[in-house]
Structure 1
Amino acid sequence: MFCAPPRLIPQCKSLCLKPAGQAIGVRSVVKSAIRQGFNALDLAFTDEHIDQFTRYLSILARWNQAYNLTAIREPERMVTHHLLDSLAILPFCQGERLMDLGSGAGLPGVPIAMMRPAWSVRLVDSNGKKTRFLDYVTRQLDLTSVIVERSRGEDVSGRFDTITARAFGNLSQIAKICAPRLAENGRIVAMKAEIEDDETRAFVLSDTGLVITDTVTLSVPGVAGVRSVVLLSRSD
Protein backbone atom coordinates (compact mmCIF):
# COMPACT_ATOMS: atom_id res chain seq x y z
CA MET A 1 0.00 0.00 0.00
CA PHE A 2 1.41 3.37 -1.01
CA CYS A 3 1.84 5.91 1.73
CA ALA A 4 3.11 9.33 0.82
CA PRO A 5 6.52 10.04 2.36
CA PRO A 6 6.03 12.93 4.77
CA ARG A 7 9.10 14.75 3.44
CA LEU A 8 7.51 14.92 -0.04
CA ILE A 9 4.25 16.40 1.19
CA PRO A 10 4.96 19.71 2.96
CA GLN A 11 2.43 21.47 5.07
CA CYS A 12 -0.30 23.04 2.99
CA LYS A 13 -0.25 26.84 2.96
CA SER A 14 -3.85 27.30 1.87
CA LEU A 15 -6.47 24.85 3.14
CA CYS A 16 -4.16 23.77 5.98
CA LEU A 17 -3.13 27.19 7.19
CA LYS A 18 -1.54 27.64 10.61
CA PRO A 19 -2.45 28.61 13.26
CA ALA A 20 -5.50 26.41 13.76
CA GLY A 21 -7.89 29.35 13.82
CA GLN A 22 -6.88 30.35 10.31
CA ALA A 23 -7.26 26.79 9.07
CA ILE A 24 -10.78 26.59 10.45
CA GLY A 25 -11.60 29.92 8.82
CA VAL A 26 -10.34 28.79 5.42
CA ARG A 27 -12.23 25.50 5.62
CA SER A 28 -15.39 27.36 6.57
CA VAL A 29 -15.05 29.58 3.49
CA VAL A 30 -14.38 26.55 1.28
CA LYS A 31 -17.39 24.67 2.63
CA SER A 32 -19.60 27.69 2.06
CA ALA A 33 -18.31 28.07 -1.51
CA ILE A 34 -18.92 24.37 -2.22
CA ARG A 35 -22.44 24.55 -0.82
CA GLN A 36 -23.30 27.66 -2.85
CA GLY A 37 -21.84 26.13 -6.01
CA PHE A 38 -23.74 22.88 -5.59
CA ASN A 39 -26.96 24.82 -5.12
CA ALA A 40 -26.23 26.84 -8.27
CA LEU A 41 -25.70 23.60 -10.22
CA ASP A 42 -28.91 22.20 -8.71
CA LEU A 43 -27.09 19.19 -7.28
CA ALA A 44 -28.58 17.06 -4.52
CA PHE A 45 -26.05 16.83 -1.68
CA THR A 46 -25.63 16.19 2.02
CA ASP A 47 -23.36 17.59 4.72
CA GLU A 48 -21.27 14.44 4.28
CA HIS A 49 -20.69 15.42 0.64
CA ILE A 50 -19.50 18.87 1.70
CA ASP A 51 -17.07 17.36 4.22
CA GLN A 52 -15.77 14.84 1.67
CA PHE A 53 -15.20 17.44 -1.04
CA THR A 54 -13.48 19.74 1.46
CA ARG A 55 -11.18 16.90 2.45
CA TYR A 56 -10.40 16.15 -1.19
CA LEU A 57 -9.33 19.76 -1.78
CA SER A 58 -7.28 19.75 1.41
CA ILE A 59 -5.38 16.64 0.28
CA LEU A 60 -4.95 18.06 -3.23
CA ALA A 61 -3.60 21.34 -1.87
CA ARG A 62 -1.14 19.51 0.39
CA TRP A 63 0.18 17.23 -2.35
CA ASN A 64 0.30 20.12 -4.77
CA GLN A 65 3.13 21.65 -2.76
CA ALA A 66 5.43 18.82 -3.87
CA TYR A 67 3.89 17.36 -7.01
CA ASN A 68 2.53 20.45 -8.77
CA LEU A 69 -0.69 18.68 -9.72
CA THR A 70 -2.52 21.89 -10.58
CA ALA A 71 -1.61 25.51 -11.26
CA ILE A 72 -4.60 26.66 -9.22
CA ARG A 73 -3.71 27.03 -5.55
CA GLU A 74 -6.26 29.46 -4.13
CA PRO A 75 -8.91 27.52 -2.14
CA GLU A 76 -11.96 29.28 -3.57
CA ARG A 77 -10.69 28.99 -7.16
CA MET A 78 -10.08 25.29 -6.57
CA VAL A 79 -13.77 25.01 -5.69
CA THR A 80 -14.97 26.79 -8.83
CA HIS A 81 -12.38 25.71 -11.39
CA HIS A 82 -11.97 22.12 -10.20
CA LEU A 83 -15.04 20.87 -8.33
CA LEU A 84 -17.82 22.88 -9.97
CA ASP A 85 -16.24 22.68 -13.42
CA SER A 86 -16.06 18.89 -13.06
CA LEU A 87 -19.59 18.45 -11.75
CA ALA A 88 -21.12 20.70 -14.40
CA ILE A 89 -20.81 17.74 -16.80
CA LEU A 90 -22.58 15.28 -14.50
CA PRO A 91 -25.93 15.54 -16.36
CA PHE A 92 -24.17 14.34 -19.53
CA CYS A 93 -22.68 11.22 -17.93
CA GLN A 94 -24.68 8.03 -18.43
CA GLY A 95 -24.59 4.41 -17.32
CA GLU A 96 -22.56 3.17 -14.37
CA ARG A 97 -19.17 2.46 -15.97
CA LEU A 98 -17.04 5.57 -16.40
CA MET A 99 -13.45 6.08 -17.48
CA ASP A 100 -11.68 9.38 -16.85
CA LEU A 101 -8.98 9.68 -19.50
CA GLY A 102 -5.86 11.60 -18.45
CA SER A 103 -7.32 12.03 -14.97
CA GLY A 104 -4.39 14.01 -13.56
CA ALA A 105 -5.48 15.28 -10.15
CA GLY A 106 -8.69 13.26 -10.47
CA LEU A 107 -10.68 15.79 -12.45
CA PRO A 108 -13.47 15.23 -13.26
CA GLY A 109 -13.36 11.56 -12.16
CA VAL A 110 -13.01 11.96 -8.39
CA PRO A 111 -15.80 14.55 -7.97
CA ILE A 112 -18.09 12.38 -10.13
CA ALA A 113 -17.23 9.29 -8.07
CA MET A 114 -18.05 11.15 -4.86
CA MET A 115 -21.46 12.15 -6.19
CA ARG A 116 -22.15 8.73 -7.75
CA PRO A 117 -20.63 6.18 -5.33
CA ALA A 118 -22.45 3.25 -6.97
CA TRP A 119 -20.73 3.86 -10.30
CA SER A 120 -17.60 1.99 -11.32
CA VAL A 121 -15.06 4.72 -12.10
CA ARG A 122 -11.63 4.14 -13.60
CA LEU A 123 -9.05 6.93 -13.34
CA VAL A 124 -6.46 6.55 -16.09
CA ASP A 125 -3.18 8.45 -16.29
CA SER A 126 0.30 7.53 -17.51
CA ASN A 127 2.08 9.80 -15.01
CA GLY A 128 3.31 7.92 -11.95
CA LYS A 129 3.22 10.91 -9.61
CA LYS A 130 -0.39 11.58 -10.53
CA THR A 131 -1.49 7.98 -10.09
CA ARG A 132 0.26 7.85 -6.69
CA PHE A 133 -1.81 10.85 -5.67
CA LEU A 134 -4.97 9.22 -7.04
CA ASP A 135 -4.24 5.98 -5.16
CA TYR A 136 -3.78 7.93 -1.96
CA VAL A 137 -6.76 10.27 -2.23
CA THR A 138 -9.22 7.55 -3.25
CA ARG A 139 -8.20 5.48 -0.21
CA GLN A 140 -8.44 8.46 2.11
CA LEU A 141 -11.92 9.27 0.79
CA ASP A 142 -12.97 5.60 0.88
CA LEU A 143 -13.96 5.59 -2.79
CA THR A 144 -14.19 1.81 -3.04
CA SER A 145 -15.74 1.78 -6.51
CA VAL A 146 -12.78 3.65 -8.03
CA ILE A 147 -9.91 1.94 -9.82
CA VAL A 148 -6.68 3.84 -10.49
CA GLU A 149 -4.75 2.66 -13.54
CA ARG A 150 -1.33 3.90 -14.53
CA SER A 151 -1.57 3.43 -18.25
CA ARG A 152 -1.82 5.07 -21.61
CA GLY A 153 -5.39 5.36 -22.79
CA GLU A 154 -4.58 3.14 -25.77
CA ASP A 155 -3.71 0.27 -23.41
CA VAL A 156 -6.85 0.31 -21.25
CA SER A 157 -9.06 -2.77 -21.48
CA GLY A 158 -12.83 -2.89 -21.03
CA ARG A 159 -15.81 -0.94 -22.33
CA PHE A 160 -17.36 2.11 -20.71
CA ASP A 161 -20.75 3.82 -20.80
CA THR A 162 -19.13 7.24 -20.38
CA ILE A 163 -15.58 8.37 -21.06
CA THR A 164 -14.59 11.81 -19.83
CA ALA A 165 -11.64 13.82 -21.14
CA ARG A 166 -10.69 17.17 -19.64
CA ALA A 167 -7.91 19.18 -21.28
CA PHE A 168 -6.76 16.07 -23.13
CA GLY A 169 -5.68 16.67 -26.71
CA ASN A 170 -7.97 17.48 -29.62
CA LEU A 171 -11.19 15.74 -30.61
CA SER A 172 -9.49 13.49 -33.15
CA GLN A 173 -6.97 12.25 -30.57
CA ILE A 174 -9.68 11.70 -27.98
CA ALA A 175 -11.89 9.82 -30.44
CA LYS A 176 -9.05 7.60 -31.69
CA ILE A 177 -8.16 6.51 -28.16
CA CYS A 178 -11.70 6.19 -26.84
CA ALA A 179 -13.61 4.62 -29.74
CA PRO A 180 -12.42 1.03 -29.06
CA ARG A 181 -13.28 1.43 -25.36
CA LEU A 182 -16.77 2.83 -25.79
CA ALA A 183 -19.76 0.62 -24.96
CA GLU A 184 -22.35 0.08 -27.69
CA ASN A 185 -24.49 3.01 -26.60
CA GLY A 186 -21.67 4.81 -24.83
CA ARG A 187 -20.79 8.48 -24.88
CA ILE A 188 -17.61 10.52 -24.78
CA VAL A 189 -17.82 13.76 -22.82
CA ALA A 190 -14.97 15.99 -23.97
CA MET A 191 -14.48 19.14 -21.89
CA LYS A 192 -13.14 22.11 -23.82
CA ALA A 193 -12.51 25.79 -23.16
CA GLU A 194 -13.59 26.48 -26.71
CA ILE A 195 -14.01 24.59 -29.97
CA GLU A 196 -12.13 25.72 -33.05
CA ASP A 197 -13.60 25.08 -36.50
CA ASP A 198 -10.31 23.52 -37.62
CA GLU A 199 -10.50 21.02 -34.77
CA THR A 200 -14.05 20.05 -35.72
CA ARG A 201 -13.15 19.66 -39.39
CA ALA A 202 -10.15 17.50 -38.52
CA PHE A 203 -12.36 15.28 -36.38
CA VAL A 204 -14.88 14.82 -39.20
CA LEU A 205 -12.05 13.68 -41.49
CA SER A 206 -10.46 11.38 -38.91
CA ASP A 207 -12.81 8.46 -39.67
CA THR A 208 -12.98 7.09 -36.12
CA GLY A 209 -16.53 5.77 -36.44
CA LEU A 210 -17.74 8.44 -34.02
CA VAL A 211 -19.90 11.50 -34.58
CA ILE A 212 -20.49 14.71 -32.68
CA THR A 213 -24.01 14.43 -31.29
CA ASP A 214 -24.06 17.76 -29.48
CA THR A 215 -21.95 20.71 -28.37
CA VAL A 216 -23.11 22.40 -25.18
CA THR A 217 -21.93 25.68 -23.67
CA LEU A 218 -21.76 25.40 -19.90
CA SER A 219 -22.30 28.03 -17.26
CA VAL A 220 -20.04 27.15 -14.35
CA PRO A 221 -20.55 29.21 -11.18
CA GLY A 222 -17.51 31.38 -10.51
CA VAL A 223 -15.76 30.54 -13.80
CA ALA A 224 -15.48 33.31 -16.37
CA GLY A 225 -15.14 32.59 -20.05
CA VAL A 226 -16.52 29.89 -22.28
CA ARG A 227 -16.71 26.29 -21.09
CA SER A 228 -17.93 23.75 -23.59
CA VAL A 229 -18.75 20.07 -23.67
CA VAL A 230 -18.60 18.05 -26.89
CA LEU A 231 -20.57 14.81 -26.87
CA LEU A 232 -19.40 11.99 -29.14
CA SER A 233 -21.02 8.63 -29.83
CA ARG A 234 -20.91 5.84 -32.41
CA SER A 235 -22.20 6.73 -35.85
CA ASP A 236 -24.16 3.48 -36.12
Structure 2
Amino acid sequence: MKRRKGRFGTPLFLHRIGFTLIELIIAVLVFSFMMASISSIYSTITRNTHQNYRQDMWKTNTAMAMRTIQQNLIAATRIDSPVAGGVSDHLNFAVNVDQLTGCAPIGPGPVTWHHFYRTTIVTPGCPSGSCLYYCSGPIPTAGGGACSSAAPFFWNPPAGAYPVCAAPILLLSNVTPRPGVPVFSRQMNEKGVVAVNLRILWNPGALAVTGADLSASQRTIDYSLQTVVRINSPAI
Protein backbone atom coordinates (compact mmCIF):
# COMPACT_ATOMS: atom_id res chain seq x y z
CA MET A 1 0.00 0.00 0.00
CA LYS A 2 1.45 3.35 -1.08
CA ARG A 3 0.69 6.72 0.52
CA ARG A 4 0.41 9.90 -1.53
CA LYS A 5 -0.90 13.41 -0.87
CA GLY A 6 -4.10 14.47 -2.56
CA ARG A 7 -5.57 17.90 -2.99
CA PHE A 8 -5.16 20.30 -0.13
CA GLY A 9 -2.55 18.00 1.44
CA THR A 10 -5.03 15.24 2.31
CA PRO A 11 -3.30 11.85 2.60
CA LEU A 12 -4.29 9.57 -0.24
CA PHE A 13 -3.85 5.78 -0.06
CA LEU A 14 -3.57 3.73 -3.22
CA HIS A 15 -4.37 -0.02 -3.02
CA ARG A 16 -2.06 -2.23 -5.08
CA ILE A 17 -3.56 -5.30 -6.74
CA GLY A 18 -1.45 -8.48 -7.34
CA PHE A 19 2.04 -9.65 -6.39
CA THR A 20 5.44 -8.44 -7.25
CA LEU A 21 7.73 -10.76 -9.18
CA ILE A 22 9.91 -11.33 -6.11
CA GLU A 23 6.91 -12.31 -3.99
CA LEU A 24 5.75 -14.73 -6.67
CA ILE A 25 9.19 -16.36 -6.91
CA ILE A 26 9.35 -16.75 -3.12
CA ALA A 27 5.86 -18.29 -3.04
CA VAL A 28 6.78 -20.76 -5.78
CA LEU A 29 9.96 -21.77 -3.96
CA VAL A 30 8.13 -22.28 -0.67
CA PHE A 31 5.46 -24.35 -2.42
CA SER A 32 8.11 -26.44 -4.17
CA PHE A 33 9.87 -27.18 -0.90
CA MET A 34 6.57 -28.14 0.73
CA MET A 35 5.64 -30.48 -2.12
CA ALA A 36 9.07 -32.11 -2.07
CA SER A 37 8.76 -32.68 1.68
CA ILE A 38 5.26 -34.10 1.36
CA SER A 39 6.36 -36.41 -1.47
CA SER A 40 9.31 -37.64 0.57
CA ILE A 41 7.14 -38.28 3.62
CA TYR A 42 4.53 -40.08 1.52
CA SER A 43 7.18 -42.23 -0.18
CA THR A 44 8.71 -43.21 3.16
CA ILE A 45 5.36 -44.06 4.72
CA THR A 46 4.32 -46.10 1.67
CA ARG A 47 7.62 -47.98 1.57
CA ASN A 48 7.49 -48.82 5.29
CA THR A 49 3.83 -49.81 5.05
CA HIS A 50 4.54 -52.21 2.18
CA GLN A 51 7.58 -53.62 3.99
CA ASN A 52 5.62 -54.23 7.21
CA TYR A 53 2.70 -55.72 5.31
CA ARG A 54 4.95 -58.09 3.39
CA GLN A 55 6.83 -59.13 6.52
CA ASP A 56 3.57 -59.82 8.39
CA MET A 57 2.32 -61.79 5.39
CA TRP A 58 5.38 -64.05 5.36
CA LYS A 59 5.18 -64.59 9.12
CA THR A 60 1.51 -65.55 8.82
CA ASN A 61 2.15 -67.91 5.90
CA THR A 62 5.02 -69.56 7.77
CA ALA A 63 2.91 -70.04 10.89
CA MET A 64 0.08 -71.57 8.84
CA ALA A 65 2.47 -73.99 7.11
CA MET A 66 3.96 -75.00 10.46
CA ARG A 67 0.50 -75.53 11.92
CA THR A 68 -0.44 -77.81 9.00
CA ILE A 69 2.66 -79.92 9.62
CA GLN A 70 1.99 -80.14 13.35
CA GLN A 71 -1.68 -81.04 13.05
CA ASN A 72 -0.98 -83.92 10.65
CA LEU A 73 2.30 -85.16 12.11
CA ILE A 74 1.01 -85.47 15.66
CA ALA A 75 -1.33 -88.27 14.52
CA ALA A 76 1.45 -90.28 12.82
CA THR A 77 2.10 -93.87 13.80
CA ARG A 78 4.88 -94.48 11.29
CA ILE A 79 7.69 -92.18 10.08
CA ASP A 80 9.71 -93.17 7.02
CA SER A 81 11.61 -89.96 6.30
CA PRO A 82 13.77 -88.62 7.70
CA VAL A 83 15.14 -91.81 9.21
CA ALA A 84 16.03 -91.85 12.88
CA GLY A 85 19.21 -89.84 13.33
CA GLY A 86 18.92 -88.36 9.83
CA VAL A 87 17.92 -85.16 8.06
CA SER A 88 15.89 -84.57 4.92
CA ASP A 89 13.88 -82.13 2.83
CA HIS A 90 11.13 -84.77 2.83
CA LEU A 91 8.81 -85.69 5.68
CA ASN A 92 7.03 -88.98 4.95
CA PHE A 93 4.74 -90.56 7.52
CA ALA A 94 1.60 -92.65 7.77
CA VAL A 95 -1.36 -92.77 10.14
CA ASN A 96 -2.74 -96.05 11.48
CA VAL A 97 0.19 -98.06 10.09
CA ASP A 98 2.58 -99.98 12.33
CA GLN A 99 6.13 -98.62 12.36
CA LEU A 100 7.92 -101.96 12.61
CA THR A 101 5.82 -104.35 10.54
CA GLY A 102 3.80 -102.02 8.31
CA CYS A 103 0.53 -103.78 9.06
CA ALA A 104 -2.61 -101.67 8.87
CA PRO A 105 -4.91 -100.69 10.34
CA ILE A 106 -3.59 -100.94 13.86
CA GLY A 107 -6.76 -99.36 15.25
CA PRO A 108 -10.01 -97.69 14.29
CA GLY A 109 -9.95 -94.80 11.89
CA PRO A 110 -8.68 -94.13 8.36
CA VAL A 111 -5.32 -95.32 7.05
CA THR A 112 -3.50 -92.46 5.32
CA TRP A 113 -0.10 -91.40 4.06
CA HIS A 114 1.34 -87.85 4.24
CA HIS A 115 4.22 -86.26 2.37
CA PHE A 116 5.72 -82.81 3.02
CA TYR A 117 8.65 -81.90 0.79
CA ARG A 118 10.77 -78.97 -0.35
CA THR A 119 11.57 -78.52 -4.03
CA THR A 120 14.56 -76.75 -5.54
CA ILE A 121 13.20 -76.35 -9.08
CA VAL A 122 11.89 -73.15 -10.62
CA THR A 123 8.36 -73.64 -11.95
CA PRO A 124 5.49 -71.29 -12.83
CA GLY A 125 3.95 -72.12 -9.47
CA CYS A 126 7.26 -71.75 -7.64
CA PRO A 127 9.24 -68.88 -9.20
CA SER A 128 11.55 -68.74 -6.17
CA GLY A 129 12.73 -72.30 -6.90
CA SER A 130 12.42 -73.29 -3.24
CA CYS A 131 8.91 -74.19 -2.13
CA LEU A 132 7.28 -76.44 0.46
CA TYR A 133 4.51 -78.73 -0.79
CA TYR A 134 2.09 -81.12 0.89
CA CYS A 135 0.47 -84.31 -0.42
CA SER A 136 -1.70 -86.89 1.30
CA GLY A 137 -4.05 -89.70 0.44
CA PRO A 138 -5.73 -92.87 1.69
CA ILE A 139 -3.93 -96.20 1.84
CA PRO A 140 -6.16 -98.89 0.32
CA THR A 141 -6.38 -101.90 2.60
CA ALA A 142 -8.87 -103.91 0.53
CA GLY A 143 -8.28 -107.62 0.77
CA GLY A 144 -6.51 -107.46 4.09
CA GLY A 145 -7.61 -107.53 7.68
CA ALA A 146 -6.61 -105.64 10.77
CA CYS A 147 -3.23 -106.23 12.38
CA SER A 148 -4.86 -108.60 14.85
CA SER A 149 -6.43 -110.73 12.10
CA ALA A 150 -5.02 -113.86 10.53
CA ALA A 151 -4.32 -112.10 7.22
CA PRO A 152 -3.42 -108.48 7.93
CA PHE A 153 -2.63 -105.87 5.29
CA PHE A 154 0.97 -104.63 5.06
CA TRP A 155 2.23 -101.33 3.66
CA ASN A 156 6.02 -100.90 3.48
CA PRO A 157 7.07 -98.41 0.77
CA PRO A 158 10.68 -97.26 0.60
CA ALA A 159 11.29 -93.98 2.41
CA GLY A 160 11.65 -91.97 -0.78
CA ALA A 161 8.91 -93.73 -2.75
CA TYR A 162 5.68 -92.47 -1.24
CA PRO A 163 2.75 -92.14 -3.66
CA VAL A 164 2.92 -89.26 -6.11
CA CYS A 165 0.29 -86.60 -5.63
CA ALA A 166 -1.36 -85.34 -8.80
CA ALA A 167 -2.16 -81.92 -7.31
CA PRO A 168 0.21 -81.07 -4.45
CA ILE A 169 -0.68 -78.16 -2.19
CA LEU A 170 1.77 -75.27 -2.09
CA LEU A 171 2.25 -74.44 1.58
CA LEU A 172 5.12 -71.98 1.46
CA SER A 173 7.54 -70.41 -1.01
CA ASN A 174 11.02 -68.93 -0.57
CA VAL A 175 11.92 -71.72 1.88
CA THR A 176 15.70 -71.44 2.22
CA PRO A 177 17.27 -73.45 5.06
CA ARG A 178 20.42 -72.12 6.66
CA PRO A 179 23.58 -74.16 6.04
CA GLY A 180 23.61 -77.07 8.45
CA VAL A 181 19.99 -76.53 9.55
CA PRO A 182 17.75 -79.00 7.68
CA VAL A 183 14.03 -78.61 7.18
CA PHE A 184 13.24 -81.94 8.86
CA SER A 185 15.41 -83.94 11.26
CA ARG A 186 15.16 -86.73 13.85
CA GLN A 187 17.36 -87.77 16.73
CA MET A 188 18.44 -91.38 17.15
CA ASN A 189 17.48 -91.46 20.83
CA GLU A 190 14.07 -89.81 20.23
CA LYS A 191 12.61 -91.59 17.25
CA GLY A 192 9.11 -90.28 17.88
CA VAL A 193 10.21 -86.64 17.66
CA VAL A 194 10.63 -84.60 14.48
CA ALA A 195 12.32 -81.20 14.46
CA VAL A 196 10.94 -78.80 11.85
CA ASN A 197 12.75 -75.68 10.70
CA LEU A 198 11.10 -73.26 8.28
CA ARG A 199 13.21 -70.32 7.17
CA ILE A 200 11.87 -67.73 4.74
CA LEU A 201 14.37 -65.68 2.74
CA TRP A 202 12.63 -63.15 0.50
CA ASN A 203 15.07 -61.18 -1.61
CA PRO A 204 13.45 -58.29 -3.54
CA GLY A 205 16.38 -58.17 -5.97
CA ALA A 206 15.87 -61.81 -6.93
CA LEU A 207 12.52 -60.89 -8.48
CA ALA A 208 14.26 -59.08 -11.32
CA VAL A 209 13.93 -62.18 -13.51
CA THR A 210 10.15 -61.85 -13.28
CA GLY A 211 10.19 -58.17 -14.13
CA ALA A 212 9.35 -57.10 -10.58
CA ASP A 213 12.64 -55.90 -9.10
CA LEU A 214 11.79 -54.23 -5.79
CA SER A 215 15.32 -53.89 -4.43
CA ALA A 216 15.18 -50.09 -4.63
CA SER A 217 12.15 -49.83 -2.36
CA GLN A 218 12.04 -52.99 -0.23
CA ARG A 219 14.38 -54.76 2.17
CA THR A 220 15.24 -58.45 2.40
CA ILE A 221 13.02 -60.48 4.73
CA ASP A 222 14.75 -63.25 6.69
CA TYR A 223 12.40 -65.05 9.10
CA SER A 224 12.69 -68.45 10.79
CA LEU A 225 10.24 -70.59 12.73
CA GLN A 226 11.26 -73.80 14.49
CA THR A 227 9.31 -76.39 16.40
CA VAL A 228 9.60 -79.94 17.69
CA VAL A 229 6.69 -82.34 17.19
CA ARG A 230 6.26 -85.47 19.27
CA ILE A 231 3.86 -87.96 17.72
CA ASN A 232 1.19 -89.65 19.82
CA SER A 233 2.01 -93.18 18.68
CA PRO A 234 3.56 -95.63 21.15
CA ALA A 235 4.69 -97.84 18.25
CA ILE A 236 7.94 -95.96 17.56
TM-score range, shorter chain: under 0.3
Could you tell me the TM-score, scaled by structure 1's length? 0.22
Return the structure number with greater strand share.
Answer: 2
Could you tell me the TM-score, scaled by structure 2's length? 0.22
Return the structure number with greater helix share.
Answer: 1
Q: Which has the larger radius of gyration?
A: 2
